[in-house]
Amino acid sequence: MKLLELERLRAGYGPITALFDIDLALEEGETLALIGANGAGKTTLLRAVTGLNRAAAGAIRLQGAPIHGLPVHTIAARGIALVPEGRRLFPSLSVEENLRMGTCGGRRGPWTLERIYSLFPVLRERRTQLANLLSGGQQQMVAVGRALMANPQLLLCDELSLGLAPAVVKDIYRTLAGVATEGVSLVIVEQDVAQAIQASDRYLCMREGRIVLGGTRAEADRAAIARAYFGSAPQ
């Protein structure tokens, strides 16, 4: 059975349609890169899966059970966690308090505070500090840690690399690869196409609210991706 299925999914913002008839299937344990230019609809797709944006039409199923229309907290409790673009930490809470916020859904599983600290040792050192005093990379670690604390079966990551130094990005993606080996499925949204594809089993490229190309990591063809990304070959 597929972990996640989207069938002819439509979603948007009031009168604006941002996703047109999206079909997508994700296997258990799979890592999928979702790439595309600004405004292609990647964030909207993640928001629709988490229930933050309501599906206007179509279906979203988790392990065969429909989840579209369910409240955000119910979807989270079924095991879908989001690392949102821009991290969205609670700036006036400490690192540890931010991490504990991830447990609100009450799901049990292998991800505990101890495990997050062994994944990101610097967070243990900083655990009593306010989140907004951390570097960008450390804040991103807190955001990933908080999502893992929810013990998700599916982790959605939106633009993890934004504004971070290459070495930090490498570190975070190395950590995510370890998370994937523990059976967590991932959807990675990235502007950095090479990074996203390298970290994934498969990729889908979106343009103007539609999926226009897809394939396995091994099949990824830079020229075809550039054409799909921009709608024509870049000059």
Q: Does position 43 bind ligand ATP by CB under 6 A? A: yes
φ/ψ (deg, to 5) at 92:
-95, 5
CB of 183 to ligand ATP, least distance (A): 27
* Letter string b/e over residues 49-58, b meaning 16 or more CB atoms within 10 A of that residue's CB: bbbebebeeb
For residue 219, the Cα-to-chain-centroid distance in whole angstroms is 22
Of these, 4, 6, 30, 44, which contacts ligand ATP (CB under 6 A)?
A: 44
Per the listing, tokens 């913002």 go with: 13
Is there binding between residue 84 and ligand ATP (CB under 6 A)?
A: no
Residues 6+ apart with CB under 8 A from 196: 33, 34, 35, 188, 189, 190, 203
Q: How far apart are CA 160 and CA 165, in angstroms?
A: 11
Range in contact with ligand ATP (rule: CB under 6 A) among 42-50, 60-68, 126-134, 222-230: 42-50
Q: How far is the CB of 41 from ligand ATP (least distance, A)?
A: 4
- Give alpha helix (H) positions in 6-53: 42-50
- Out of 5, 9, 35, 42, point to the residue binding ligand ATP (CB under 6 A): 42
Q: Under the criterion CB under 6 A, does residue 195 sit at the interface with ligand ATP?
A: no
* Minimum distance of ligand ATP from residue 14's CB (angstroms): 7
Among 18, 26, 82, 99, binds ligand ATP (CB under 6 A): 18
Q: What share of the chain is helix, strand, coil (3-state, %, to 5)?
A: 35, 30, 35
Q: Min. distance of Cβ 16 from ligand ATP in angstroms? A: 5
Considering only 32, 40, 156, 187, the residue that binds ligand ATP (CB under 6 A) is: 40
- Lay out the sheet containing 31-35: strands in order across: 80-83, 154-158, 185-189, 31-35, 202-207, 210-216
Site for ligand ATP contains 207 (CB under 6 A): no
Residue 115 CB, nearest distance to ligand ATP (Å)? 30
Of 99 and 147, the one with the shorter C-beta distance to ligand ATP is 147
H or E segment at 12? strand 4-13
CB of 43 or CB of 151, closer to ligand ATP: 43
Positions that interact with ligand ATP (CB under 6 A): 13, 16, 18, 36, 38-44
